Chains A and B, each alone.
Chain A
Amino acid sequence: MESKGKPAVKELLENNIFSISAYLKLLNGVLNSFGARIMGEVSEMKMGPSGHVYFSLKDKKDKSVLSCVIWNYDYKLCGVQLREGLEIIASGIPDVYPPTGRLSFKAKTIQLVGEGELKKEYERLKKKLEDEGLFSLERKKEIPSFVKNVGIITSKQGAVINDFLNNLGRFGFNIKFIDSRVEGLEAVKDLLNSVKTMKKLNLDVLVIMRGGGSLESFLAFNNEVLIRAAADLPFPVIAAIGHDKDVPLLALMADKMVSTPTAAANLLNQSWLEAELELKRKEREIFNYFASFLNDTKYSFNNLFLKVKERLEKVFASFKMIEYKIKTVIPKILENEIRKAKEKMENMERVIINNDPERNLKLGYCIAQNEKGIIKNIKDVKLEETVDLKVFDGIINTQVKKIQKYERKKS
């Protein structure tokens, strides 16, 4: 390529006369392929009316200088506050600005150099956002129960997304995933665009994840613009971005902060698992209650049955007593009575027999009768009257000759 290209450019340059504009276009075309990361100390910094920032980067050793510019949007996005003397790494491409003819380095992003500066910037932004209440508990949204629509922002590279998905329960989650760089110079832009895209979706929760790393590799998650964009989402944010010594500011702002992708998955599973357990618990509880209900009823029935049985047994016992009485006592009483009656009758029979007039007639007694009937005393007869004497075997017709009254001694 080089052996063919160089002569062609050379030929073009040698055989043509260029206008300034055309030459600069050609030059810039070449310069654009010289994208690089330049480290130096900021000097002569000024901000234009449109918010673009012009500054110089000075080589500490030989004082060489490179004019730089960073556009307003990129400057805001990079999250670094430029000041003279600050050591930075600027990432971008060089070009010649046609109106001035000056070469300048167009930085797309700027990064602080050295842990000290990073730490200072971290603390400054942390205090600023804290003072604004961005980390306060009051503004944190609750992670809803039974989450369904989940947004995921993380890098497709590495184990993070797999760890998360492997630990996520099968509860019918609807996952929208955006592959984003999570570290390096382009991470902030990537993450910011991802957050903005997610904002347009109908999500229940957004999970932003990455693996562990050094403070420097967390830079993107300490970016003010990104943090504000995430704070502005209508749904809660779960941050599973781990931390080194300092907690990334995005995690401090997040509605829920967990340390690993697995923990994030578990957090989403939690309400489902709890509900599943609760459902089982309630099922057991209600059926136990009902079983105890039935037992109580069975017990009551048994009790009732025993009472009825007891009563019936008493009744039966009475019957047995009666039966016994009927079978034993009553017959004896009856027998006694019958015997008594029999004796009575025998007595009576004896009396009757003893008093039978026939028997007396046989013994020699007789019955005197006149026309008026049986003669019982002397007044019943008159002298010369005919009287019949009835004896055992016939009647003797007699005439009254004398009537004599017995003289009875008074006692």
Chain B
Amino acid sequence: MKEKNLNQSLKKLSLIAEWFEKQEEVDVEEGLKKVKEAAEIIKEAKKQFKEIENEFEEIKKEIEEE
């Protein structure tokens, strides 16, 4: 789920960046809304990069013989 969210977050951010790129006339109010939205997404996404320790488990192989 998380990894999907991360992908979606990056897509959403790309859309916001594109929106800014396309604006010919400056609409500060709408721009502010978009920046707020982007800041929220970035904040959430960054949580996933906060050095989450890896889990390591050694498991035994099942022996299969004939």
* A contact set with B: CB distance below 8 Å: 71-74, 144-148, 156, 165, 168, 170-180, 189-190, 192-194, 196-197, 272, 275-276, 278-279, 282-283, 285-287, 289-290, 293-294, 296-297, 300
B64 and A193 contacting across the interface, CB-CB below 8 Å: yes
When C-beta atoms are compared, the residue in chain A nearest to B12 turns out to be A282
Q: Smallest CB–CB gap between B62 and chain A, Å?
A: 5
Q: List 28 A-B contacts (CB under 8 A).
A: A71-B66, A73-B65, A74-B66, A145-B3, A145-B7, A147-B3, A148-B3, A165-B54, A165-B56, A173-B54, A176-B57, A178-B59, A178-B61, A179-B58, A193-B63, A193-B64, A197-B59, A197-B60, A279-B9, A279-B42, A282-B17, A283-B42, A285-B20, A286-B34, A289-B20, A289-B21, A293-B26, A294-B28
When C-beta atoms are compared, the residue in chain B nearest to A108 turns out to be B65
Query: What number of B residues sit within 8 Å (CB to CB) of A?
Result: 41
Residue-wise, chain B 15-40 has the 8 Å CB interface mask toward A (1 for contact) of 01100110100101001101100100
A196 to B28, CA, bound (A): 59
Q: Smallest CB–CB gap between A300 and chain B, Å?
A: 7
Q: Smallest CB–CB gap between B9 and chain A, Å?
A: 8
Instruction: Describe B's contact surface by its main secondary structure.
Output: helix
Among A165, A170, A285, A296, point to the contact of B17 (Cβ < 8 A).
Answer: A285
A289 to B57, CA, bound (A): 46
B10 and A278 contacting across the interface, CB-CB below 8 Å: yes
B54 and A286 contacting across the interface, CB-CB below 8 Å: no
B31 and A172 contacting across the interface, CB-CB below 8 Å: no
Residues of A within 8 A of B21 (CB): 289
When C-beta atoms are compared, the residue in chain A nearest to B63 turns out to be A193
A174 and B55 contacting across the interface, CB-CB below 8 Å: yes
When C-beta atoms are compared, the residue in chain A nearest to B32 turns out to be A290
A52 to B23, CA, bound (A): 76
A272 to B10, CA, bound (A): 12
A286 and B20 contacting across the interface, CB-CB below 8 Å: yes
Residues of A within 8 A of B38 (CB): 282-283, 286-287
A214 to B14, CA, bound (A): 49
Among B10, B20, B53, point to the contact of A170 (Cβ < 8 A).
Answer: B53
A175 and B66 contacting across the interface, CB-CB below 8 Å: no
